[in-house]
Amino acid sequence: MERIITVANQKGGVGKTTTVVNLAAGLARLGNRVAVIDLDSQGALTISLGFDPYTVRPSSYNILLDQNIAFADVLKKSRQNIYIAPANAELIAAEYKLYNESDRTSRLRNSIKNSAEKFDFILIDTPPNLGLITVNGLVAASELLIPVAANYLSMRGVRSLLDSVWLIRERLNPQLKLLGVLPTMVQPKAAHAKSAIYEMQTVFKQKVFQSIIPFDNAAATAPALRQTTIEYAPTSSVATAYIYLAKEVSNVK
């Protein structure tokens, strides 16, 4: 069975894209065939995996709005076992164009479903809002992964995210389940980080991953070199944590 994991949090800069890149790298290292989908018009995932969002075509825009283009037509090989449906700036218009379509929430799901190309994992990166594009990501998913930066007030907004998610589950995607909440950018010695993780564990209990992603500059340096953190600094604390996360995710039945 193909596992489709959407990474979402409407709060910006919490590590969504970094998680998609490095979870994909970790899962690929374990021998999985992985596809990632960039649903953010900023194209950070696309850049990180070596493509130019200004010129790359076709893109995830075509998956959402072009009935003549199949999922597989959009995929480009990034590395061994990693394929990407890249984003480009056309996606900015997709949010508005989708509003006029009757199947506006299920375009991505249908495109993946109808595809002959199959993967062990499909990871979907979403923009920092809860608009129609993110809804497409949530409707297409079997599982949701929520990265939460371990700092003061970081849990604010997670509840409203989950309210939307359960509404989507009720109305549009009954199979959607919460895979887990991932503490990111954790400064191990900081008191605020400890209390943020404590709060996550109190609210989400066993749904908080054992993997905790530390704050580490290697994570911020790697994208400029078009590398995953696991490639750029394989023994760094952040790479180690993402490798562990990949094992944790693949052990979920």
- Contact partner at residue 220 from Mg ion, ligand ATP, none, CB < 5 to 8 Å by partner kind: ligand ATP
> Cis peptide leading into 223, omega within 30 of 0?
no
Q: Which is nearer to ligand ATP, 10 or 115 (CB)?
A: 10
State the residue for tokens 């944590």. 241
How does strand 121-125 pair with strand 3-7?
A: parallel
Site membership for Mg ion, residue 109 (CB under 5 A): no
Q: Are 15 and 23 in contact (CB under 8 A)?
A: no
Q: Which is nearer to ligand ATP, 115 or 151 (CB)?
A: 151
Q: Which is nearer to Mg ion, 44 or 212 (CB)?
A: 44
Applying CB under 5 A, which part among 39-47, 112-120, 185-193, 245-253 lies near Mg ion? 39-47
Residue number of the CB closest to Mg ion reads 17
Residues 72 and 81: their CA atoms lie apart, in Å, by: 15
The CB-of-247 to ligand ATP minimum distance in angstroms stands at 18
Applying CB under 5 A, which part among 40-48, 58-66, 188-196, 220-228 lies near Mg ion? 40-48
CA-closest candidate to residue 200, choices 186, 181, 187, 178: 181
Which amino acid belongs to residue 13? G
Q: Which is nearer to Mg ion, 44 or 145 (CB)?
A: 44
Q: Which residues contact 171 (CB under 8 A, 6 or more apart)?
A: none
Site membership for Mg ion, residue 16 (CB under 5 A): yes
Which residues are at the interface with Mg ion (CB under 5 A)?
16-17, 44
